[in-house]
Amino acid sequence: MGQGAGVTEPLLKVRGLGKHFASAGQTVNVLSGLELTLAPGESLALMGRSGSGKSTLLNILCGLEQPDAGFVSIAGEHFAADSSASGPNQQRWAMLRRQRIGVVFQEANLMPALSLLDNVRLRASLAGQSDQYCGDWLKRLGIGGLAQRYPDQVSGGQRQRAALAMVFAMRPSLILADEPTGSLDARTALEVAGELFYQQAASGCALVLATHDSALAARCGQRLDLAQLGA
């Protein structure tokens, strides 16, 4: 379980978080009594076997799933389990995802009918950021020459770099990354992860990274093994 940096106001605070699913007539507790705190600039690795609840936790942290117990606080916005599905809370979650939370998944992070540059511009625009530097983000991530290509015209690694460019162009407070290198070969995965940690450190945002890769997890300041937690 991650601990806050002390003097810094926590960006992310989770208390007593619980989530269960019904399966074959039985209730399966995926998350139970989870607590964590994360300050700006910190990084947390979520580890655990498949089905341990890593993706579920990330989905809860960005409001795409509702918890059954506990509460989540992100950037001063508080969401209790019993009210998080309501309309106004859905709007607050949407606002957070649009402006404060950057999400990178293993695949399908780009609009297929938009060029890489237009994808980055769209993300920046939705976050209320200028699209002036979108091309620069692609250049920094080494895919400036592919700006006008469509996602199906570039490799998986290049798509993930573009996804990272989208996230950094929106200048988020928190990045949630779910196995962002999971579908890449070892070398490309290393490069993409390097870019992720470098830009995260440079921008000072917090990072929650779900991964199977212990080497990748070791690069995070904190680690949380959901399997060991017994969730």
Partner 1 sequence: MSLIPKSLIPASQFSNLFSALFSHYRRHPLQLLALALMIMLATMLWAGVNHLTTQARASLGQSEQAVAARSQVERVDGQALAVADFVTLRRAGLCVIPWLEVERPGQAGRLVGIDPLAADCFAQTAPAAGNNSPELIDSPEPSKKSEPAWTPTLNGEPFIDISEAAALAQNVASRNVRFSLLIVPPEPASALLADYRMTGFSLGPDTGELGDSFLLNLDALGFLVLLITALLLRSVYQLGMAQRRDSFALLQRFGVMPSAINRVLLVEILLLALLSVVPGVWLGRLLAGTVGGGFGQALDSLFDTPLYAGQSENWLTPIVTMMAIVLAVCLAQNVRALLLRMAAVWPFALPAKLLTGFGFGMRPWPWLAMPLAAAGRR
Residues that bind partner 1 (CB under 8 A): 62, 64, 90-91, 93-99, 101, 103, 105, 108-114, 118, 121-123, 125-126, 128, 150
Of the two residues 5 and 85, which places its CB atom closer to partner 1 in the complex?
85
Of the two residues 94 and 201, which places its CB atom closer to partner 1 in the complex?
94
In angstroms, give the least distance from the CB of 91 to partner 1. Answer: 6
Of the two residues 30 and 124, which places its CB atom closer to partner 1 in the complex?
124
Of the two residues 95 and 201, which places its CB atom closer to partner 1 in the complex?
95
In angstroms, give the least distance from the CB of 94 to partner 1. Answer: 5
In angstroms, give the least distance from the CB of 134 to partner 1. Answer: 12
In angstroms, give the least distance from the CB of 114 to partner 1. Answer: 5
In angstroms, give the least distance from the CB of 105 to partner 1. Answer: 8
Cα–Cα distance, 134 to 165 (Å, whole number): 8
3-state helix/strand/coil string of the chain: CCCCCCCCCCCEEEEEEEEEEEECCEEEEEEEEEEEEECCCCEEEEECCCCCCHHHHHHHHCCCCCCCEEEEEECCEEEECCCCCCHHHHHHHHHHHHHCEEEECCCCCCCCCCCHHHHHHHHHHHCCCCCCCHHHHHHHCCCHHHCCCCHHHCCHHHHHHHHHHHHHHCCCCEEEEECCCCCCCHHHHHHHHHHHHHHHHHHCCEEEEECCCHHHHHCCCEEEEHHHHCC
Of the two residues 154 and 227, which places its CB atom closer to partner 1 in the complex?
154
